[in-house]
Amino acid sequence: MTSYKALRWDLDDDGILTVTIDRPEKLNAVDTAAMNELTHVFTRADRDDRVRVVIVTGAGRAFCAGGDLSSGTRTFDAVSEGRASDAGDHVETGGPLAMSVFRNRKPFIAALNGAAVGVGLTMILPMDVRIAVPGAKLAMSFVRRGIVPDACATWFLPRLVGLSTALDWAGTGRTFSTDEGRRAGLIDELVPVEQLLDRARERAREYLTAAPVAVAMTRQMVLRMAAAEHPLDAYAVESPAIFELGRSEDAKEGVAAFLDKRPPRFPGRVSADMPGVYPWWSRPEQLADPGPLEPFPRGDR
């Protein structure tokens, strides 16, 4: 059975998976091993049909204080730290982490219980909903550590907040608040800390009355069409997807439930019933082998 050292998880009976970064003594700062564990658990969530929605939060008073700097001046030196011998075999761990969210077929809700700095901020950019406590500190602090942003942030951030704000936050590395993040469109809601997880679960339950396959396909279409060159790029995927899903048992159930005025019971499975047009892109996206991916057992770990 897979066990994790840097995180814990809970999967409830409704299919809401809560992943908690669990290094409160370090304000949930993450090292390479912790980032690999997050990538692993997110990839497991993608492939497990019992998981419908993922909530990500932190233990203690911070969400994630960024990269663990306990190695001192060698922290970002992949050769000195034994992570690579040269550029040819170097895999920056933020990229696989971001891609494990971006290519995921399950919605993600970030519940920021406190500060989110560095990778603590960039990891939430591909997520669907970002809820935070008022007044918490945020920072794209990479340039103040002598490096550039990680986790594909220079692709995601301008799409969320616009080019000017992205250049400001990423180019200065300054600290700003979740209140400023809310005004810029990064943060969707500000909620008192004692209500944070309850609100995240409320948002998660909004997905549970929708067809899992349709949610998965729609999520991928919206994320990827944000960078498409022409509206017909979207139509080229929408048309065959609607044709195939329109004949599915999910579509029949969706209409029947509406007419019967009852909650739907969608039979489709994300693992087996995605429409044939998926995936429609050709670029390889598996940046690293996540290792064994057994389904989540009952209970929490």
Q: How does pLDDT run across 109-126, given as a tens digit for each residue? A: 999 999 999 999 999 999
Instruction: Name the phi and psi angles at 44, rounded to 5.
Output: -60, -45
pLDDT of residue 77: 62
pLDDT band at 88 (very low <50, low <70, confident <90, very high): low
In a domain, 119, yes or no: yes
| Per-residue confidence band for 13, with pLDDT thresholds at 50, 70 and 90 | very high
* Count of the separate structural domains present in the chain: 1
Structure tokens belonging to residue 69: 């700097």
**What share of the chain has pLDDT > 70, as a percent?**
90
- What integer is the mean pLDDT of 26-32? 96
Q: Is residue 246 part of a domain?
A: no
pLDDT (0 to 100) of residue 113: 98
Is pLDDT of 85 > 80? no
Is 87 within the bounds of a domain? yes
CATH code, domain carrying 60: 3.90.226.10
Q: What is the domain extent for residue 195?
A: 7-205
Q: How confident is the model at residue 297 (pLDDT cuts 50, 70, 90)?
A: confident
**Number of helices (H) and strands (E), helices first, in the chain?**
10, 10
Q: What is the reported pLDDT for 234?
A: 97
| 110 within some domain | yes
CA distance 99 to 91: 13
pLDDT at 82: 59
Neighbouring C-beta atoms of residue 106, cutoff 10 Å: 24
Q: Is residue 268 part of a domain?
A: no
Assign 84 a pLDDT band (cuts: 50, 70, 90): low
Q: Per-residue pLDDT for 206 more than 90?
A: yes
* Residue 208 binned pLDDT confidence (cut-offs 50, 70, 90): very high
For residue 270, being part of any structural domain is answered with no
Cis preceding linkage at 279, omega within 30: yes
Residue 201 scores a pLDDT above 70: yes
Burial of residue 3 (number of CB atoms within 10 Å: 0-12, 13-18, 19+): exposed
Residue among 81, 71, 112, 85 nearest 200 (CA): 112
Q: Is the pLDDT of residue 90 over 80?
A: no
What letter does residue 206 receive in the DSSP assignment? T
Average pLDDT over residues 201-209: 97
Q: Is residue 88 part of a domain?
A: yes
Residues contacting residue 47 through CB under 8 Å, at least 6 positions apart: 271, 293, 295
Q: Is the pLDDT of residue 155 over 80?
A: yes
**pLDDT tens readout for residues 125-148:** 999 999 999 999 999 999 999 999
| 291 found inside a domain | no
pLDDT of residue 199: 98
Q: Mean pLDDT in the chain?
A: 93
State the residue for tokens 């090292």: 31
Q: How far apart are CA 202 and CA 79, in angstroms?
A: 45
Predicted model pTM: 0.93
